[in-house]
Structures are given as structure tokens and as C-alpha cells.
Amino acid sequence: LKDTTVLYGYSRLNSEEIFHIADTPFNVEYMPCVEKYGEGIVIEMDSTTLKNCDQADVKIIVHTLAHAVIKEMEFECGYDSTSFKEKIYIDTEKNKYGCIVYCVAGADGSMGGIASLFDSNKVFELIENAVDRLEMCPHDPICSIEKGHCYACLDLSEVTCHEGDSLDRRKMLEYVKKLNN
């Protein structure tokens, strides 16, 4: 997996003003960037079940699954959750939904821990365990009554996730029940 980060602009400390390197990325001869290599897992969700869900709920379900997988990978791969990154993919026109959870070099992810899950098909077991762990949170009933997520069950640091509030394990479990019926 290759992760490319391009510096398009910057801001000063305690300033909301953003200074752009160029008006558009195509106006300059070069832009500072970094390429990192790592490993990851792509998960495609069942499109027929998600197609019938409310669009706001679809993002929550896919995002919740990504966090559940990251939390489970902490146990299986031995990586800290701050080593992971996530990308959520929702294409309603093509009816495709999914996520990618990955680590890149410089973090723990260059050690082969994720790739080793595919040697014995443990990746399917990892996803099942991740979903099963959503049944209960150490902070229940408060967690499930309040927001449906907390640091004990789904929340991750800002290094890993920038959209922490679009999570709800209750909606994810409803989706799983629809799949099993």
C-alpha cells in the first residue's frame, strides 16, 4: 500500500488563515510531498442491505466497522491504534460501500502484522470478533444510552480519526442483524 501526502497549504500557530502554496495543484511545477509504504485491509460491505438504509446511517455503519476493526487489530497485530489510519468509501451511484484500515512505514505497520492475517485467513475471524465485541462495552449501559460509542469500545485518537462523532455501535449491530436474517 502506498500513501502519498502532499503539502497544499499551511497555517500559522493560533491562526485560522490558511496559506496556499498555489491556487490549484496544477499551477505549480512541484509541491512538497512524502510517499510512505505500508499494509492494510480493504473491507467491502453488503450493498443490498446498505442500499435500504438512510444515507446518514450508512456513513455511521461503515465508519463504526472501521473503528471496530482497528480496535480488534490492536489485539491481533499488536499495533497501537495510533499506528492506524482509515478511509471510508461510499459511492451511492455505483452502490459500493467500504473502508480501508492501514498502517504506513514510520509506524508499526511496516512489520508485516496485517499481512500475516491473510496467511491463515484469520482476517475473517478478526472482522467477526470486531463485530462481536460491539455487543457489549465496559461502560454499558451508559455508553449505549448516551452516544453509542466511547473510548472503551470505539473512539480513537485524533491521529487516527478526525470524525469521531459519526459512530454508533447500536446502528452497526442493527445492520448485522439484517445481514443474518
Report how far apart, in Å, the C-alpha atoms of 48 and of each of 32, 105, 172, 181 are.
42, 36, 15, 13
Specify the pLDDT at position 157: 85
> Is the dihedral angle over the CA atoms 75, 78, 81, 84 positive or is it negative?
negative
Specify the pLDDT at position 106: 60
39 has which bridge partners? 103
Task: State the maximum Cα–Cα separation within the chain, in Å, rounded to a whole number.
Answer: 56
Report how far apart, in Å, the C-alpha atoms of 98 and of each of 46, 86, 105, 174 are.
9, 11, 23, 17
- Per-residue pLDDT of 23-57, as tens digits, reads 776 777 777 888 888 888 899 988 887 877 888 88
Q: In this structure, what C-alpha cell is assigned to residue 78? A: 499488536
Q: Which residue has the higher pLDDT, 29 or 58?
A: 58
Q: What's the full length of the chain, in residues?
A: 181
- pTM summary value: 0.82
Specify the pLDDT at position 99: 93
Specify the pLDDT at position 95: 85
Question: 3-state DSSP helix/strand/coil percent for the chain, to nearest 5?
Answer: 40, 25, 40
Say if CB 128 and CB 139 are below 8 A apart: no
Q: Which residue has the higher pLDDT, 152 or 179?
A: 152
- Per-residue pLDDT of 126-153, as tens digits, reads 899 999 999 999 999 998 888 889 988 8
- Per-residue pLDDT of 91-130, as tens digits, reads 888 888 999 998 886 654 456 778 777 777 788 888 999 9
**Residue 83 pLDDT greater than 70, yes or no:** yes
Report how far apart, in Å, the C-alpha atoms of 32 and of each of 8, 10, 104, 173 are.
8, 12, 18, 43
Q: What are phi and psi of 117, to 5 degrees?
A: -65, -25
